[in-house]
Amino acid sequence: MRALRRPAASFLLGCVALAVLTFVCLKLHLSAPVLFLLVVVFVALDGSFVAAACVSLVAALFLQTFFASPIFSLHGADSRHALRFLLWLVTAFVISRLVIRARRREQNLKLVMDAMPALVVVGSSEAAGDVYCNQRFVDYTGISSANLRGEGFQSVLHPDDQLWYESEWQRAVSEGQPITREVRLRDRTGDYRLFLHHLFPMRDASGRTQWCTTSIDIEDRKRDEETLRHAREDLARVTRVTTMGELAASIAHEVNQPLAAIVTNANASLRWLAADPPNLEEVREATVRIIADGNRASDVVGRIRTLLSKKETQKQLLEVDDVIGDVVALTKSEAHRNGTSVQLELAAAPAVVLADRVQLQQVLLNLMLNGIDAMHDVTGSRTLTIQSRPHQGKGVLVAVRDSGVGIPAEHLPHIFDAFYTTKNGGLGMGLAIGRSIIEAHGGRIWATSEQGQETTFQFTLPAGADAS
């Protein structure tokens, strides 16, 4: 019953409108057929074909009954009168059907816009063009379609975003190029949230520019990403501390060597000063060696402090070969203790990338230690090769290859997964963190291996000018 109320009300209003128009047309001698068609159109706009068809039949009855024009008379021998009357009735039905179909398409489009999980605004670049927004936009901003003309979408933008948006909007509409950017939009309470905003300019058949904007709320996602980033950095730092703990003996040996050399040179200097006459030339040379050994020890301690420091990610332009040199120096004693020979095959021209030095050092340190550990049980030659070479013209490719026993084929697809390890006592986080670091720098990391043969870990980084 409730579904019939609206069509019944439309039918009754249509009949009342026909009665009023009939009276007006009879009094003022107006053309009734056209006015009656307008009534049929207005009834059809309500969306019920049954109501529009019934009103069309009533209109035909009114025309036949109250108007004396022979065009609408079914009496007489001239069949053209009946044909014209029938054409009017068919015209009324066709118009009703077309109007209802267009109305339903508009309603379906509105339902789709309201169901979208985004704020949607559609409009025309013309000053007098209509602007439409979905219900989600109205609920968030408190602004309806009628209030979007003039300043329009800019009225809900954060003041710092309005200037660039106006220039970008004009450029996008004139060039027909879409734009995507993060913006802050004001809600009905006056607070701002972060949205991912898309603007799509379009041209209709007549050449007029239409545009559509969608804005997706990413405030909570951004907060989660920031929290995840901090957690990932903390986990990466814990992994670095764990790795440095495993290297404690090698680090102690690395620092002890220059310290022992300093003591030896200092004692020699005292003996040469006590001679008669003092051998000042030997003292000077010993002092130079003391300074060099002191700087060497300081460099080792500096690398350790840098790796263990807790600070925000700081990307800067740096040469990959310099980072490789830092890590090779840090792992030299560990390689020597395991009987491993480290070979460098570096690119002829230095490759400059935009990266965080500490994070890049962590990736290389983990790959080199894994390579040294993989050759622990090898009886023959143990060689760790580090290569750097240009990649795809601009970027750089770094490879760490060992002569170990290789990685079984069933393990290879999972070695970069978190908590997946092939080593006894391993955490399974080193390679997973390394992959996240390389991907965050716009690169890619992978491994190749054959059972019983060497394993190669490779990663790419974009050139400094192209890095994201």
Lowest mean pLDDT, pick from 179-183, 261-265, 267-271: 261-265
In the predicted model, is pLDDT for residue 409 greater than 70?
yes
Question: Which residues are CB-contacts of 335 (< 8 A; sequence separation ≥ 6)?
Answer: 341, 342, 368, 372, 384
Give 150's DSSP letter.
T
DSSP H or E segment with residue 331:
none
CA distance 195 to 413: 37
Strands 315-319 vs 209-217: parallel, antiparallel or unpaired: unpaired
Q: Which of 257-261, 276-280, 332-336, 398-402 has the lowest mean pLDDT?
A: 257-261
Q: What is the pLDDT of residue 166?
A: 76
Higher-pLDDT residue of 288 and 1 is 288
The letter for the amino acid at 2 is R
Taking residues 422-447, what's their average pLDDT? 76
Q: How confident is the model at residue 68 (pLDDT cuts 50, 70, 90)?
A: very low
Phi, psi of 342 (to 5 degrees): -100, 125
Which ranges of 67-144 does DSSP label H, i.e. alpha helix?
Answer: 79-115, 135-141
Mean pLDDT for 362-388 is 83
pLDDT mean over 287-309? 69
Greatest Cα-to-Cα distance within the chain, rounded to the nearest angstrom = 152
Neighbours of 324 (CB within 10 A): 21
- Per the CB < 8 A criterion, the answer to whether 463 and 317 are in contact is no
The Cα–Cα gap between 135 and 381 comes to 71
The tokens describing 95, both together, are: 């118009």
**To 5 degrees, how large is the angle CA 116–CA 119–CA 123?**
105
Work out the pLDDT band at 304, boundaries 50, 70, 90. Answer: low
pLDDT at 151: 57
Residue 340, pLDDT > 60, answer: yes
Q: Tell me how far apart the alpha carbons of residues 431 and 440 are, in angstroms, rounded to a whole number.
A: 14
The C-alpha R_g of the chain, in whole angstroms, comes to: 40
Q: Which residues pair with 344 in a beta bridge?
A: 386
Whole-angstrom distance, CA of residue 395 vs CA of residue 99: 60
Mean pLDDT of 394-406: 85
The pLDDT of residue 77 is 45
- pLDDT of 150 reads 52
Give tens-digit pLDDT for 17-49. 878 887 887 777 777 777 777 887 777 777 677
CA distance 230 to 222: 12
Q: Where are the beta strands (DSSP E) in 301-382?
A: 315-319, 341-345, 352-356
- At residue 158, the pLDDT reads 86
Which neighbouring-strand residues pair with 461? 396
Percent of the chain clearing pLDDT 90 (strictly above): 1
pLDDT-based confidence at 439, cuts 50/70/90? confident
State residue 262's pLDDT score. 78
Could you tell me the two tokens for 320? 């990959």
Contact 77, 102 (CB under 8 A): no
Q: What is the pLDDT of residues 246-261, one digit of tens each?
A: 556 556 655 666 777 7
